[in-house]
């Protein structure tokens, strides 16, 4: 039987209804400005800012509190170059062979192709790995709700980066097991996303896209 952990009182101060509305509205307006960016400045990002954002991601809830995630921060130009080369190799195959005609049509408006210069241009790359299982005392142990847990943590990371004043791009070349080799991660971890992070280039453009209205994303009973 698993040993029990101690419990302590919740540290919580209930805000007034007015404060609730103020906070929710203010945060909504901030997040409405979040955009995916593919053009980065080479201006360096303070290391402590990245660490704070990753620590924020680590506050995410997870199945049985297993926290099945690992974040790798890459600043080394040579390693970024290796990652770009490996990602573009897979992406070229995706565009030429793996992607369906429907998918090609859907992403055409975004003006993307197999070339991924942002993997070198961004001052920071954050690779997110999910820990499919864990090893304890040489015994393989199961983690729970891994995809859900890592997905929530990644969402918190993207939100924290935006709140801090940075921009990023969730990049998911597939397959991307090459990251295990380049970044020396063990076999029980699988990469889920690479986030180029930094400040936008001065001439950055983003597509004019509309987000779905509340009427299409919300049902209430």
Tell whether 54 is covered by a domain: yes
CB proximity list for 153: less than 8 A, separation 6 or greater: 57, 58, 60, 62, 69, 128
pLDDT at position 2: 63
180 pLDDT higher than 90: yes
Q: Each residue of 97-113: b (16+ CB within 10 Å) or e? A: eeeeeeeeeeeeeeeee
**Structural domain that includes position 49:** 35-202
How does pLDDT run across 99-151, given as a tens digit for each residue?
Answer: 888 887 878 777 788 889 999 999 999 999 999 999 888 899 999 999 999 99
Percent with pLDDT over 90 in the chain: 81
Find out whether 179 and 193 touch, Cβ atoms under 8 Å.
no
CA distance 106 to 121: 26
Residue 61 is part of a domain; what is its CATH number?
3.40.109.10
Asked if the structure places residue 221 within a domain, the reply is: no
Q: What is the pLDDT of residues 2-37, one digit of tens each?
A: 668 899 999 999 999 999 999 999 999 999 999 999
Record the pTM.
Answer: 0.94
**Domains held by the chain: number:** 1
User: What is residue 1's predicted lDDT score, i.e. its pLDDT?
Assistant: 58
- Give the position of tokens 């076999």: 187
């Amino acid at each position: 039987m698993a040993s029990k952990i101690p419990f302590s009182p919740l540290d919580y101060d209930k805000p007034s209804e007015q404060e609730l509305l103020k906070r929710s509205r203010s945060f909504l307006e901030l997040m409405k400005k979040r955009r995916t960016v593919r053009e980065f400045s080479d201006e360096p990002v303070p290391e402590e800012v990245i660490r704070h954002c990753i620590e924020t991601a680590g506050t995410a809830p997870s199945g049985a509190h297993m926290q099945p995630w690992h974040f790798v921060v890459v600043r080394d130009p040579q390693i970024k170059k290796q990652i770009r080369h490996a990602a573009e190799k897979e992406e070229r195959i995706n565009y030429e062979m793996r992607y369906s005609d429907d998918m090609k049509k859907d992403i055409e408006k975004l003006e993307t192709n197999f070339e991924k210069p942002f993997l070198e241009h961004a001052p920071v790359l954050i690779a997110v790995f999910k820990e499919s299982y864990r090893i304890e005392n040489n015994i393989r142990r199961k983690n729970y709700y891994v995809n859900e847990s890592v997905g929530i943590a990644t969402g918190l990371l993207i939100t924290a980066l935006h709140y801090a004043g940075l921009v990023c791009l969730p990049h998911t070349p597939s397959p991307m097991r090459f990251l295990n080799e380049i970044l020396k991660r063990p076999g029980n971890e699988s990469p889920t996303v690479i986030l180029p992070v930094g400040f936008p280039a001065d001439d950055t453009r983003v597509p004019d896209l509309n987000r779905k209205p509340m009427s299409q994303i919300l049902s209430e009973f």
